[in-house]
Every structure is written in structure tokens, then in C-alpha cells.
């Protein structure tokens, strides 16, 4: 795995992690899927199904949510209830949340807010002349052409993509920093006898 630069940056206290929605998604432990909160695109589909939305892509979560409230005669509470139910599905923190909480990521690279903030960060670094090393952990598409496009696109914005599952990253952090990871059966960075591993 290509995680050594990130682990080295954490050790040197030169790492600022951002934790995005993917950190609350489902993960696998001992061959079983542990449910998580739906990511934006899936949540958009669920909200669209609940209100009969047919005005384009369900990927645009704010637009779908706005339509839901409109379709329910302005009852925002119905939307809050639907989202609260999604959140209540998660009974425990995800492994990556546990690992990072013991040490001190991120937004989806497709998130518009992240892009705006990131362009501001880049502008500040360009003006100061300082060097900036940035990494994003995500599962890249299996299609090599799509994966290469993403790597090139984000490299131009000073972000190196690392093809990695967040649970694998949590295990790497737990091992490197001797952390407890009860969801996967790790105690002080070591798998407990009979503990679940990804």
C-alpha cells in the first residue's frame, strides 16, 4: 500500500486529516458487511423514491432534498426524520473514526464545498511559495482509463490519489501507532486472538 507518506506525516505532526462522508459508510469485518450511513448519491436515491422525484439526476442531493420538502408542503421535519433514520442505523463508530480519534479525513473529492476550500488553500500556498503534499484515500474505479484520468486531474491540484479502502487504512494506522480498534479486534495495534480483521 502507498500509505507510508501519510503515516510519516502523522508521525512528524505535519498531517491535517479531513474526514468525509465515506468514513461513515459500511465496511467489511471478518467477511461480514457492517452497515453504515448511505453516501450522498444513495441517500439522494432514497429521498427521491420517498417523494416521487423525477426531475433529473438523484446525485444532486440538495436539489432532491429541496424537492422532497416542496412535495411535502414545506414540511422539513419529514426530511429530517428520514435522514435521522439513516443515521440511527449506525450502532458504533467506524474503524477509521476510532483510529483518527486516538491520534488527534475527508470530504469527497467530488464535493463542491471541498473544491472551493481546496482552491483557496492552493492559492495561499502558491502565494507563499511553500510546498504542499496532499493525499486522498479512495477506492479508484476498476477501469484503468478512469483511474488514470482521476489521478491526472487531481495531481494538477496537488492531490495524490491513493487507492485504499478506509478500513485498510485504519488497520495500517492502528498497527503503526499501536492503537485500539475494537470494531476489528485490534488491541494496541495487534489483532486480538479470534478478532475480526478486514
pLDDT 10s digit of each residue in the chain, 198 long? 588 888 888 778 777 676 677 777 787 777 788 878 787 888 889 999 999 998 888 888 888 999 999 898 888 889 888 888 887 777 677 777 777 665 654 455 566 556 656 666 666 556 556 666 677 888 888 999 999 998 898 888 778 888 888 788 888 888 888 888 888 887 887 776 555 555
Q: What is the pLDDT of residue 102?
A: 59
Whether 45 is in a domain gets the answer yes
Indicate whether 83 and 106 sit together in one domain.
no
Indicate whether 83 and 161 sit together in one domain.
no
Whether 187 is in a domain gets the answer yes
DSSP annotation of 182 reads G
CA distance 102 to 100: 5
Indicate whether 136 and 51 sit together in one domain.
no
Indicate whether 110 and 180 sit together in one domain.
yes
Indicate whether 62 and 19 sit together in one domain.
no
Indicate whether 127 and 33 sit together in one domain.
yes
CA distance 97 to 108: 16
Indicate whether 101 and 171 sit together in one domain.
yes
Q: What is the pLDDT of residue 105?
A: 47
Angle between helices 40-51 and 61-71 (to 10 degrees): 20
Domain boundary among 64, 88, 112: 88
| Residue that the C-alpha cell 494538477 belongs to | 156
Mean confidence (pLDDT) of the chain: 77
CA distance 151 to 149: 6
Indicate whether 98 and 143 sit together in one domain.
yes
The pTM is what?
0.52
Indicate whether 60 and 151 sit together in one domain.
no
Q: What is the pLDDT of residue 73?
A: 84
**pLDDT, tens digit, 9 for 90 and up, residues 35-65:** 787 878 888 899 999 999 988 888 888 889 9
Whether 197 is in a domain gets the answer no
Contact 36, 25 (CB under 8 A): yes
Domain count, the chain: 2
Q: What is the pLDDT of residue 7?
A: 83
Indicate whether 47 and 132 sit together in one domain.
no
Per the structure block, which three cell numbers stand in for 3? 500509505
- Name the residue range of residue 111's domain: 4-37+92-191
The burial class, CB within 10 Å (0-12 / 13-18 / 19+), for 100 is: buried
Amino acid at each position: 500500500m502507498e500509505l507510508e507518506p501519510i503515516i510519516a506525516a502523522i508521525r512528524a505532526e505535519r498531517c491535517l486529516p479531513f474526514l468525509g462522508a465515506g468514513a461513515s459508510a459500511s465496511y467489511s469485518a471478518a467477511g461480514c458487511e457492517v452497515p453504515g450511513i448511505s453516501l450522498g448519491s444513495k441517500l439522494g436515491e432514497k429521498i427521491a423514491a420517498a417523494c416521487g422525484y423525477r426531475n433529473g439526476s438523484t446525485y444532486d442531493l440538495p436539489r432532491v432534498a429541496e424537492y422532497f420538502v416542496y412535495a411535502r408542503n414545506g414540511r422539513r421535519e419529514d426530511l429530517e426524520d428520514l435522514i435521522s433514520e439513516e443515521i440511527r442505523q449506525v450502532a458504533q463508530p467506524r474503524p477509521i473514526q476510532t483510529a483518527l480519534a486516538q491520534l488527534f479525513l475527508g470530504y469527497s473529492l467530488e464535493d463542491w464545498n471541498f473544491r472551493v476550500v481546496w482552491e483557496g488553500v492552493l492559492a495561499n500556498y502558491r502565494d507563499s511559495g511553500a510546498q504542499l503534499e496532499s493525499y486522498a484515500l479512495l477506492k479508484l474505479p476498476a477501469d484503468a482509463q478512469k483511474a488514470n484520468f482521476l489521478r491526472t486531474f487531481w495531481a494538477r491540484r496537488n492531490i495524490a490519489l491513493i487507492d485504499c479502502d478506509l478500513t485498510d487504512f485504519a488497520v495500517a494506522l492502528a498497527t503503526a501507532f499501536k492503537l485500539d480498534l475494537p470494531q476489528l479486534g485490534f488491541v494496541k495495534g495487534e489483532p486480538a486472538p479470534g478478532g475480526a480483521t478486514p
